[in-house]
Amino acid sequence: MPNIVEARYHCAEEYFFAAISPSHRRFNACVNVYRDDEYRSVWNLLLVRVGSAPLGNAMLECEALMRRTKLPIRLVARQEHVEALGETLEMLGFIEIETSTAMVLDLAGIAASPHVAGDAEISWTHNLNDWAGPMANAFGMPAEGAAHYQARHQMALDRGARFYHFTLAEKGQPVSSLTLTLCDDLARLNDIGTDAAYRAKGYSTRLIHTALAHATSLGARWCFLEASTQGLSLYHALGFRALFQYRSFVRGPLL
């Protein structure tokens, strides 16, 4: 059974993905499906996330859904469940693409934000164009994909979700950004990215510290994130600790 901190990780995770998805189905405490079927574009996706609780029979229903959909599918599963999913993944034509790490930070012990020299300025912005630019550049997103993802964040804001979009600008130009979400006393960081031309200046660190301070001021007790392999050293340096490993698989669209 998952421990309390892991269970809270999944609460914050579910809050974020449900807010940016037009459709969300919770099969059980372990299996969630987020469907992006409101927009008619190549960026439609069925996102399946398999967490820390026991699988139960939920995966049987989820498998039936995956068989029916023609949308591309991304399935993200906790390491401990991958073996049990092996036959389904092979039968449906999934391929593994990456691993990631679920991480947590106790906000009671966060340090003050470090100083950044020069003209760097951080702001909590309501202009998602400013936020989306650095994010798209950092992750190499094409214009259509970035616009689609930005629209989903705007949808979350319009629904009243507790989303806070932060940017760091150098000489007035946004070059780094992230998303902070709050659910009760739980915070989550997403979309942390800095334009390649402005990296190695400590901008991501400064931006994260600012977001964490904001979360704390609003009553957050824990902060969670899902780290890529490349981001692990940064998050460890900030005090985040690993909870468990995720493995990600994809299946392309069916004609």
- The continuous run of DSSP H or E covering 98 comes out as strand 95-106
What CATH number should be reported for the domain holding residue 35? 3.40.630
**pLDDT tops 80 at residue 110:** no
Domain that holds residue 63: 4-102+245-251
pLDDT digits (tens, 9 = 90+) for 8-65: 999 999 999 999 998 999 999 999 999 875 444 444 568 999 999 999 899 999 999 9
C-alpha angle 121/122/125, rounded to 5°?
125
pLDDT digits (tens, 9 = 90+) for 116-143: 555 789 999 999 999 999 999 999 988 9
Take residue 130 and report the two structure tokens written for it.
């400013």
Average pLDDT, the chain: 90
Based on the fold, state whether residues 21 and 64 are members of the same structural domain.
yes
Based on the fold, state whether residues 97 and 135 are members of the same structural domain.
no
Based on the fold, state whether residues 19 and 94 are members of the same structural domain.
yes
* Crossing angle between the packed helical segments 58-68 and 79-91, to the nearest 10 degrees: 40
Based on the fold, state whether residues 127 and 212 are members of the same structural domain.
yes
- Residue 99: band (very low, low, confident or very high) from pLDDT cuts 50, 70, 90: very high
Based on the fold, state whether residues 168 and 223 are members of the same structural domain.
yes
Calpha distance 144→79 (Å, rounded): 32
Q: Provide mean pLDDT across the span 186-211.
A: 92
Based on the fold, state whether residues 35 and 120 are members of the same structural domain.
no
Based on the fold, state whether residues 128 and 114 are members of the same structural domain.
yes
User: pTM value?
Assistant: 0.92
Based on the fold, state whether residues 111 and 89 are members of the same structural domain.
no
Based on the fold, state whether residues 130 and 203 are members of the same structural domain.
yes
Total domain count, the chain: 2
Q: What was the pLDDT predicted at 254?
A: 75
Based on the fold, state whether residues 39 and 163 are members of the same structural domain.
no
- Of 29-33, 87-91, 145-149, which gets the smallest average pLDDT? 145-149
Q: Which of 20, 17, 11, 51 is nearest to 186 (CA)?
A: 11
